[in-house]
Amino acid sequence: MLAGALTLSLARWIRHWASFRPEAAALAAGERRLGYAELERRTLALAGGLARRGIGRGDRVAFIGLNRPEQIELVFACAHLGAIQVPLNWRLAPPELAYILGHSGAALAVAAREFLPALPAAPRHLVLGEAYEDLIGEGQEAAEAGSPADALLIVYTSGTTGRPKGAVLTQQAALVNALNAVAAYDLTSASHVLTMLPMFHVGGLNIQTLPTLYAGGRVTLLPRFEPEAWFNAVERERPTLSLVVPAVMRALIEHPRWARVDLTSLAMVGAGSSTVSEALIRAFHAKGLAVAQVYGATETGPICLHQRRADALANLGSTGKPALHSEVRLVDAAGQVGDRGEIQVRGRHLLREYWNDPQASAEAFDGGWYRTGDLGHRDAAGWYWVDDRKQDLIVSGGENVYPAELENVLADCAEIGEAAVIGRPDPRWGEVAVACVVRRPGARLDEAQVLRLFEGRLARFKHPRAVVFLDSLPRNVMGKVQKFELRRRLEA
């Protein structure tokens, strides 16, 4: 169906809309406004400047900075040249950044000045600001060399075990993901997305941001998430869409402004990254704002399952059905395909490979199907539900216990700020569940009260056997609880 669908580089997205809607808003950040014609001019000038500095097809160009238009310009400039952007997580420590730069073989790092001290001396640095603008000001263009098969992004995974791996996403993968997003969110040239999740992650960059530019819409960027800034932008800029994660949802709901904020411009919000509790979803729905879940991974581009607006209101907690250009199957422990098991995905939006890691690349696939490592089930109507990470599944006395099911119970308790459930080895049952709980300020909740929350709601074998109270839960930048770190603390 998609054979030959993309014959030119992704940079043609901007050229197309610059021709049809030259003055229409493409990007906004603070007081900055870029129309499509200006975005095209800057992208082509940037590509020319990079080419004169030796960047061409296959070369890697790293980017480190908060959300800003220059990262988008660099994506399309790399697409024009057939080069590859390596988005860097600015929260990483210098040794972690040095590893990614070395492993990817980046020839150049485009960096916001405040992050320069975290970077090693190599590779060469192009500093955002005057030096970057001088390069664009040269105004010379380079021949278009990018193609659908060219890699566009190397996005490094969070590395929960061992070193992070670099997922290689091609220009074709970005296009197919954009088509999935258009179908999921009804994206058109009238769409206006508010992006505040970090664009060094495929969630912030690929779920709504790049697809909106494919559709000719507008993207408003916030440098990073802050509740007040998000509320201000929604009320002032009137976006139609935004993407959130559970930690963001919780921060918004608990903010004093939540009760009075005007969210009526938003048709819905997308939500993903990790399991979203029903309590969080209900709080948004109570304000008339649908939470349409989306499921995927860095390696899947990421969209492969999603809800649409009406689905979100009618199927609370489901992660939807397969995206337009995705195939999804469930494979049980015996290798049988059915209605329950590991979620596996096939489609042209998947990673091509892990950069310089043929063994990991081979292990990631099962006959062309990407193994997500997540467990889920499908109901009679075809709706998919993500039960938990395969590695987080607790097997207690031969019975499967899904931590997400227990976490939903804990999320309903007003005295609990946040909670996660992990498994602990047990000589009798093999494993038992342990609830890791953060009390809300002023709460006096004790272990017995937490354990009573499960009475009458879940089967006895699923109940936690212990409660650990913590000041906070370890999370990565996308708000996912780092359960490997919780297990390490529990062992210690």
Q: Is residue 6 part of a domain?
A: no
Question: Could you read off the pLDDT of 30-63 as tens digits, one per residue?
Answer: 999 999 999 999 999 999 999 999 999 999 999 9
Can you tell me the distance from the alpha carbon of 57 to that of 47, in angstroms, rounded to the nearest whole number?
Answer: 11
Same domain for 212 and 332? yes
Domain count for the chain: 2
**Nearest CA-CA partner of 157 in 483, 476, 488:** 476
pLDDT at 161: 47
Question: Could you read off the pLDDT of 415-424 as tens digits, one per residue?
Answer: 999 999 999 8
Question: Could you read off the pLDDT of 139-150 as tens digits, one per residue?
Answer: 888 999 999 999
Same domain for 444 and 352? no
Select the more confidently predicted residue: 15 or 141.
15
pLDDT at 141: 87
Same domain for 35 and 78? yes
Q: Is residue 37 part of a domain?
A: yes
Segment 371-396 shows an average pLDDT of 87
pLDDT at 3: 47
| pLDDT band of 277, cuts 50, 70, 90 | confident
Same domain for 232 and 286? yes
Select the more confidently predicted residue: 391 or 353.
353
Q: For 40-44, 101-105, 159-163, 236-240, which range has the lowest pLDDT when averaged over its residues? A: 159-163
CATH code for the domain of 405: 3.30.300.30
Question: Could you read off the pLDDT of 448-485 as tens digits, one per residue?
Answer: 999 999 988 887 888 999 999 999 999 876 677 888 88
Same domain for 226 and 333? yes
| pLDDT band of 317, cuts 50, 70, 90 | confident
Q: Is residue 332 part of a domain?
A: yes
Q: Is residue 140 part of a domain?
A: yes
Same domain for 354 and 407? no
CATH code for the domain of 141: 3.40.50.12780
| pLDDT band of 399, cuts 50, 70, 90 | confident
pLDDT at 1: 41
* 3-state class (DSSP) for residue 352: coil
Segment 375-384 shows an average pLDDT of 94
The residue type found at 194 is L
| Chain mean pLDDT for the chain | 92
pLDDT at 160: 44
Same domain for 413 and 340? no
pLDDT at 427 over 90: no
Segments forming the whole domain that contains residue 73: 11-378
Q: Is residue 231 part of a domain?
A: yes
Segment 180-196 shows an average pLDDT of 98
Sign of the dihedral through C-alpha 36, 38, 43, 44 = positive
Select the more confidently predicted residue: 479 or 381.
381
pLDDT at 4: 46
Among the candidates 336, 354, 378, a domain finishes at 378
Among the candidates 378, 412, 432, a domain finishes at 378
Return contacts of 188-191, CB within 8 angstroms, 24+ apart. 188/215, 188/216, 188/217, 189/17, 189/21, 189/24, 189/215, 189/216, 189/217, 190/217, 190/240, 191/215, 191/217, 191/218, 191/240, 191/241
Name the H helices within 238-386: 246-253, 278-285, 309-314, 358-363
pLDDT at 291: 96
| pLDDT band of 162, cuts 50, 70, 90 | low
For 490, the token pair is 């529990």
pLDDT at 313: 84
Label residue 292 exposed, middle or buried (CB < 10 Å: 0-12, 13-18, 19+): buried
Q: Is residue 2 part of a domain?
A: no
Same domain for 206 and 351? yes
